[in-house]
Amino acid sequence: MDIPSLLAENITQGFLIGFLVGLVVKVASKTVRNMLILQFILLKYLESRNILIVDWHRLTGGMLGSQEVVVGRAQELIDTVAEMGVFGGALAAGFLLARRVFK
């Protein structure tokens, strides 16, 4: 397969998937936001009543207060974003277009 057709295929797929994700996020964002807020409030309530014990250090993966881990994770994130390339850019463009079109 030649490079231009491969790039065109990645751009098309990324744009379409991004557009669809943008539509879904636009429609479901308020509902999901409210559900997450209610779940967090319920979690904190259960924790305050000693019904549930939450290990907050384990949830953060020990990243709070450890600068070396954060720098390593940031480098991994940059490497991953760089590898996404054309597909990621087209995905972002489709997502932004869907958010802009369906206000």
Phi/psi region, residue 61 (left: phi>0; alpha: psi -120 to 50; beta: rest), is left
Q: Report residues of the chain scoring pLDDT below 50.
A: none
Q: Which of 5, 19, 3 is nearest to 90 (CA)?
A: 19
pLDDT of 78: 74
pLDDT of 62: 59
pLDDT of 71: 72
